[in-house]
Chains A and B, each alone.
Chain A
Amino acid sequence: MVSGLAPEQRRAAIARGDFSHLADSEVMLELKAGNMDAFDVLLAKYRKPMVHFMFRMVHNQAVAEELAQEVFLRVYRSRETYRAEARFSTWLYRIATNLGVNYARDTRYERTAATVYLDEVDAETGMTPDVADTTPSAEVGLLREERMEAIRRHVMALPERQRNAVLMHKYQGMDYQQIGEVLKLSESATKSLLFRAYQTLREKLKEFV
């Protein structure tokens, strides 16, 4: 969690703008001290994981990016109160999870499945939707889309904690301990939560296996 650099070496590295030897929590402490380069370092490291995490939570790239930006803004706003007691990523994912869950709750009634009528003209484009052709590649593409949609639907249908645990474990590569810290659960409870989620998904996704 903490870099093994001597204080002088650490200071010299920071002065050069080299944060590569620093742990994330140390980079965050630099941001707390007012070094804005530290913010860019954290942004570069966590930009993609945050957008992916948020995309899987909200299934809309524009919203996902806006929420991911909000996560980073909250990191900046909370820099004064940051304590390097836990891993930085745990803190980051706790912010992200709260934001994602709140967004999902706030828009629960707005998010309805869009129905596409193949024989109706689209109001915006004035065209009818593209109908899949019969070439094998298109079929494969459609199947892939269908499979992805089924996975998304069933993962999102999981209870809130199971869903967040799966997103962090399967797609963010986090271990039980870290997921447990984010969700405030013990390691064994996290393991059990995850297994129940995967069992549910096995039942629901049987036809695609």
Chain B
Amino acid sequence: MTKEGMSEGENMKELTRTINCKTCGKHFADLLLDESFAAQVREAGRQQTGPDAEAGAAAEPIHGAAAMQVAAHLAGCATCREELEQLQATYALLDSWTAPEPSAFFDSRLHVRLREVRAEEPERLWSRVRSFFLYSTRQRLRPVLAGALAVAVIAGGGGTFAGLYGHQDAMAIKTSPTVNDLKILDNNAQALQQMDELLDSGNDNSAPPVS
């Protein structure tokens, strides 16, 4: 804390020389807005310049170096002191801007608006469905039912149609060799029968019908 060969008083003087107005100005925000720092600076100032300055200088410094430096600079710089005082006065002046109390009807008006909001509020899906079935006249349900029926018919009919065609294809694909042989035999039998009929008609000597 104390530099070698320096007394406490000399050390304090050394501290006061270390900042200029610009550096001091940088601490104004803390002085104005940070009450603990402002209190430290005030206390340090009392130690440095008050009636017991000698005792304060001799005592071990209890504040941060920054607070000591700012206090020392402010004690010797009228410009910075004035600027700080103006800032503090302005800050205090702002207190005189008062605002009126809420009116007596604030809560009642708010509750009216709140009731409106609650009435307008969309219900959850389940409660809406439940309310529909519980409280609706079911007239609104008719178009829905008609639509649902149409969808069912289209889906069902289309399904049957697709199923039939799909089934035929499946049958064609799955025709067994036995069935094919039987078909061939059947076709052959038909062909033989047709040939017999033709031969029979060639041997017919009867007179042609009179027109």
Contact = CB atoms under 8 A, between A and B. Distances in A.
A43 B99 contact: no
Contact of B113 (A61, A73, A147, A169): A73
Contacts of B96: 144, 147-148, 151
B29 interface: yes
A202 B96 CA distance: 15
Given A191-B29, A194-B33, A198-B90, A72 B110 contact: yes
A195 interface: yes
Interface in B14-45: 28-29, 32-33
A54 B162 CA distance: 69
A27 to B, nearest CB: 16
Given A198-B87, A209-B86, A47 B102 contact: yes
A76 interface: yes
Given A205-B90, A209-B93, A73 B114 contact: yes
Contact of B98 (A43, A148, A155, A202): A148
Interface residues of B, number: 28
Interface in A136-165: 144, 147-148, 151-152, 155
A65 B102 contact: yes
Given A206-B86, A209-B86, A209-B89, A151 B94 contact: yes
Interface in A164-180: 166, 169-171, 176
Interface in B52-102: 86-87, 89-91, 93-102
B29 A192 contact: yes
A21 interface: no
Contacts of A65: 102-103, 106, 109
A117 interface: no
Contact of B94 (A43, A68, A77, A201): A201
B107 interface: yes
B97 A151 contact: yes
Contact of B97 (A43, A61, A64, A148): A148
Contacts of B101: 48, 51
A94 interface: no
A87 interface: no
Majority SS of interface residues in chain B?
helix
A109 interface: no
A134 interface: no
A199 interface: yes
B117 interface: yes
B93 A43 contact: no
Output the residue of A155, A198, A206 with the most chain B CB within 10 A: A198
A209 B83 CA distance: 12
A2 B94 CA distance: 34
Given A69-B113, A76-B117, A77-B117, A52 B93 contact: no
Contacts of B117: 73, 76-77
Interface of A: 39, 43, 47-48, 51-52, 55-56, 61, 64-65, 68-69, 72-73, 76-77, 144, 147-148, 151-152, 155, 166, 169-171, 176, 191-192, 194-195, 198-199, 201-202, 205-206, 208-209
Given A48-B101, A76-B117, A144-B96, 19 more contacts: A56-B97, A64-B99, A65-B106, A65-B109, A69-B110, A72-B110, A73-B113, A73-B117, A77-B117, A148-B96, A148-B98, A151-B93, A151-B97, A155-B97, A169-B33, A195-B28, A195-B29, A195-B32, A209-B86
Closest 6 CB pairs of A and B: A195-B29, A52-B99, A51-B102, A55-B99, A209-B89, A202-B90
14 contacts: A51-B99, A51-B101, A51-B102, A61-B103, A148-B98, A151-B94, A152-B97, A170-B95, A192-B29, A198-B90, A202-B87, A205-B93, A208-B93, A209-B89
